[in-house]
A and B are shown apart, each in its own frame.
Chain A
Amino acid sequence: MMYKLQLNNVVKTFGENIICDRINISARSGELVCLIGASGAGKSTLLRCINLLETIDDGEIILDGQDIAEPGLDPQPIRAKVGIVFQSFNLFPHMDAISNVMLAPRRVHKKTRAQLLEEITGLFERFGLKDQMYKYPDQLSGGQQQRVAIVRALAMKPEVMLLDEITSALDPQLVGEVLEVLFTLKDEGMTILMATHEMNFAKKAADKICFLKNGQVLEEGTPDWIFGPDAKQETKSFLSSF
């Protein structure tokens, strides 16, 4: 079976520092793959590379059989297919929630606000945000802001979602509402690559977990394997810190 997303020997350096060191990760359509590892292991940079916010130095990033990291490719249509949600939400503070969500479909898909209204309202409803549509980001709680950020990415109808530690900046009591959203997405068949420190979530929801250390995938496997007795010693010692 063909992979939806496949990283082959991806290398990314910043000056002398090797951030991603020949990383191989693959995800089938509808799979949820969790990237775990200490801060600085290269998880965020890897996700930014897949969204083409960073250019890789070597290797391939294959999306639906096409190498999207090939130099000279127009990144815009690819980014529209690969949504990313950031740790710090990055909502646009000068726009209300609905304008945040509508901006990209209006500009990229050339739709009008009227054309989008029904569909976007539906998205807000689905994620329990209907009352928040016309509020500005600073009037929303962290959890609400992060859900708006997820809705904003979903409004582009991406085929793959990249989630970069999206619950790390939230108060513990707000984490649950965001993770709920992820269960919904997974049930709907979205392919998700997610950097996370939420080990319980990874254990429950992931199809595959990759443990990264020093820019390399040290071990990958099902949650049962990674959290099981046969995982590598380094994986175990990382997990024991939670």
Chain B
Amino acid sequence: MEAFKVNVMIFAWSAPAIAVLGLLVALARSVHSPALFPLKVFSAIFTDVFRGVPVILTVYLIGFGIPGLGLPRPWNSPYIWGSVALVLTYSAYVAEIFRSGIESVHKSQRAAALSLGLTEQQAMRDVVLPQAVRNVMPSQMNMLIALQKDVSLLSFIGPVEIFRQAGVFKSLLANFTPYVGAALIFLAITVPATRYADYLMARQNRERQ
């Protein structure tokens, strides 16, 4: 169970960081101002790169690569760089979901907000974004569930989280029961979370009828 706490901890600090970075990237991709075009290009490249590279490869590259540059303690911790790798990868996916949410809000909503004298930023913040976030909430819940599982990938670069701990016990006991135990612990978290995501989705469908 100690090892599972590591999973939860990594999850707990990665998830908010992913939400914030993902939203920022999505907003950068949705800007209308020509002056901010470079930002739009940068965010497009960001999503292309981090969606294009397998998570495990990003975890290796950043989790081993950056501490390998000879950073002093505590900055060479695989906890930090492993989390950074997850944050970067997941932000790219989350950003795309937010962006699809922003685009799903009919453009007449933005026009109505602007026609009342609101600025572009106010129209985005008060009118478009609240609707967009609501529209994509069930999909984002799924990303959270996936993240919870992918924290295990960090076991390959060092942190003793549950998957790795199960591996240790497997070697000690010479059977696969610890893996089954680890799987059950994951299911105990992800099944309720999945059901909650389904519930959100069903509620949204009902509201749209």
Interface, chain A (partner B; CB < 8 A): 48, 51, 53, 75-77, 79-80, 83-84, 86, 88, 90-94, 103-104, 107-108, 152-153, 156
Contact = CB atoms under 8 A, between A and B. Distances in A.
A107 B109 contact: no
Contacts of B114: 53, 75, 79
Nearest to A78: B117
A45 B32 CA distance: 20
B108 A104 contact: no
Nearest to A103: B126
Interface of B: 108-109, 111-119, 122, 126-127, 130-131, 134
B10 to A, nearest CB: 33
B100 to A, nearest CB: 18
Given A92-B127, A93-B131, A94-B130, A86 B118 contact: no
A103 B126 CA distance: 8
Given A103-B118, A108-B117, A86 B112 contact: yes
A108 B118 CA distance: 6
A164 to B, nearest CB: 10
B12 to A, nearest CB: 29
A92 B108 CA distance: 10
A86 B126 CA distance: 19
A107 B123 CA distance: 10
A152 B117 CA distance: 12
B113, B116, B119: residue with the most chain A Cβ atoms closer than 10 Å: B116
Nearest to B130: A94
Contacts of A94: 130-131, 134
Contact of A92 (B109, B115, B117, B119): B109
Nearest to A54: B111
B127 to A, nearest CB: 5
Contacts, number: 57
Nearest to A153: B116
Nearest to B207: A138
Contacts of A77: 117
B117 A76 contact: yes
A98 to B, nearest CB: 15
Contacts of B122: 107
Contacts of A156: 116-117
B41 to A, nearest CB: 24
Contacts of B127: 92, 103
A107 B131 CA distance: 18
A76 B111 CA distance: 12
A79 B123 CA distance: 14
Given A79-B117, A108-B118, A156-B116, A90 B108 contact: yes
Contacts of A51: 115
A75 B122 CA distance: 14
B143 to A, nearest CB: 22
Contacts of A53: 111, 114-115
Nearest to A53: B111
B132 to A, nearest CB: 10
Given A94-B134, A103-B126, A76 B109 contact: no
Contacts of A104: 116-118
Nearest to B119: A76
28 contacts: A48-B111, A53-B111, A53-B114, A75-B114, A76-B118, A77-B117, A79-B115, A79-B116, A79-B117, A80-B117, A83-B115, A83-B116, A84-B115, A90-B111, A91-B112, A94-B134, A103-B113, A103-B116, A104-B117, A104-B118, A107-B117, A107-B122, A107-B126, A108-B116, A108-B117, A108-B118, A152-B116, A153-B116
The 6 closest A-B pairs by CB, nearest first: A80-B117, A104-B116, A90-B112, A108-B117, A79-B117, A84-B115
A107 B119 CA distance: 9
Nearest to A89: B112
Contacts of A76: 117-119
Contacts of B117: 76-77, 79-80, 104, 107-108, 156
